[in-house]
Structure formats: C-alpha cells, structure tokens
Amino acid sequence: MIQKHSRIRRFQLRNLVVLGSIFTSLGLMAPHISLASVPSGQRLSLGQGIASPANTNFVNYRGGWTAQNPVGAVVQENWRVTGQFSSNGNNVFGGELGYGDGSFGLAGGYRQADCDNCDGQAALAAAFTPAASVGLGFRFMEDLYGIGLLFNTGQGWRFGITGELDDGGPSSSDRVARLGAGLGYMAGAWSFVLDASHRLVHSSQSSDDRILLTPGLSLRADFLEVSLNYKVVVNDNSSSGSSTDGFWFGLGLSGASYHVGLYMDYEQELAANLSFYF
C-alpha cells in the first residue's frame, strides 16, 4: 500500500512538472498573443465548477461534493453538443446537448458505465438571469435535485453558491444535503477559483463534518488552455487521513466551433470531452 501511494505521488509530481512547464510557456507567450480567439466562457473544468462551471461538461461531471453550478447552462455559447469518455477501471461513455444565449440556457446529459448491472444516469439543467449578470439555475436527476446561483456570469470577480439534496430513493433512510460556495476571478487569459463543498448527512447513524477545498488556476493563450487544481479535505478526523487529497489537471484545445478537453485525476483517472458549438 505504501509503495502504491509512493508511485502515485511520483506520477503526480512528474505531471506537475509538465504542467508547470506549460504554464510557464503560456505565461511568456500570453503578452504577445491576441486574445480575440479566446472563448468568452469557461470551457475547461476548473476547481469544483461552483464559481466557474465548465460549459462543456457541467451536466454530467462533478469536481466536488456538489454537482457543478447549473448556471453553466446560460454560458454555453449557443448550441452545444459534447461527447464524453472517462475511465477508472470501468469505462464510462456519455454525452450532453444544450443551448445558452447569455440570458437563458437548457442542457441535458446522459452517461452509461460499461459494466454489468450498471444503470445509466440522465440529468437536466436549466438556468436564466433574473437580474443583470446574476444567474439562477436548477439541476434535476433521479432522487437528486440541485440549485445554483452565480453572481456575475461574465468577466471579473464571481461568487457562486450551489445546493443539492439526495433523498436516496424510497428504500433509503438517509438524506444527504450538499452545499457549495466558490469565489473566482476571470479576466482574459487568466482564471482563478477557490471552491468549497460540504456534506450534511441526515442520519442517526453517521455524520460528516469534512469540507472539500479546491483552488484552481487556468491560463488560456490562443487555442491552448491548461488547468491546475488541488483538492484537499479539511476537518478530517479520521486516523488514516483522506485519499481525496491531490492535484488534478486539465488540458484544452479550442477553436471557434470546437473544444477538446483532456483530464487526469478529475472526474475519474482519465477523462476526455469533445464539444462542438453551432
């Protein structure tokens, strides 16, 4: 077990060095590159998706203990279709289809694991802007209901709030509520977030006081974007500590009408998205 964790740490360090090199290169390139082709929305996943939901995967993917902010439906850059693949021992295939025009958005998603007796999961998200630059969104899934607020859906400082209720279905006595909050800054080529989420277990048998924190930083220059994130569990009273802690990475390639997103240790060990905008 110790050797396994050591190999994982070395693997993460190697990837951290690679990402650091890419960040440095982009940082040197950014002042000399026109940002006219940089997308206006956040296409690559960042943090837990609370302050800055990714408009390519916010329906099916979650980066924390709540789903991503459903206000991501508003900033989908018109019509969008996305194909998804992820793997963590079992392969998972999925897709999303949505529309957003900056004031209203709607998106649906479906994913299916390639394993025996595994049921597919469908979800729906809708959002609108009841006030200038303020988004309100809702997410619906079987036995799982979510809501989100995002103050400032454009550039600059952002503050997001998410809430989720998992009633566990008719056969479960546990009710789990999840809360999230995030602060972010988005300006041109740089984005930064600090997202946090917490689980409230309504059960006489258990309680959970832990909080998942994820700071994240992304840099975009022309067609290339990288995302570096670190997730850490605080207020963890278990003697063994948390196996959740660690870096996760994203690499994105974008054009006016497409986006490719590659992830390591985010949704699962490996994940890939291909999106088209039209």
Query: Domains of the chain: which residue ranges?
Result: 2-277
Q: Which residues contact 252 (CB under 8 A, 6 or more apart)?
A: 43, 44, 220, 224, 225, 226, 227, 259, 260, 261, 262
Residue 119 is predicted with a pLDDT of: 87
Structure confidence by residue, pLDDT tens digits, 215-270? 999 998 888 999 999 999 987 766 555 567 899 999 999 998 999 999 999 988 99
What residue type is assigned to position 28 of the chain? Answer: L
Residue 241 is predicted with a pLDDT of: 53
Distance CA 244, CA 241 (A): 9
β-strands 156-166, 144-151 pairing: antiparallel
Q: Which long-range contacts (CB under 8 A, 24 or more apart) does 233-239 make?
A: 234/210, 235/209, 235/210, 235/211, 236/210, 237/209
Instruction: Give the residue carrying structure tokens 């994203």.
Output: 250
Hey, what are 102's tokens?
């900056």
| Correct CATH for 2-277 of 2.40.160.40, 3.60.15.10, 3.40.50.720, 3.30.360.10 | 2.40.160.40
Question: Which among 98, 3, 112 has a CA at the least distance from the CA of 53?
Answer: 98
Residue 193 is predicted with a pLDDT of: 96
Say how many residues make up the chain: 278
Question: Which among 67, 202, 65 has a CA at the least distance from the CA of 140?
Answer: 67
Residue 10 is predicted with a pLDDT of: 53
Q: Which residue ranges in the chain fall short of pLDDT 50?
A: 1-5, 7-8, 11, 25-26, 29-38
Hey, what are 21's tokens?
């090199």
165 burial via Cβ count (<10 Å: 0-12, 13-18, 19+): middle
DSSP 164-220: EEE---TT---EEEEEEEEEEEEETTEEEEEEEEEEEEE-SS-----EEEEEEEEEE
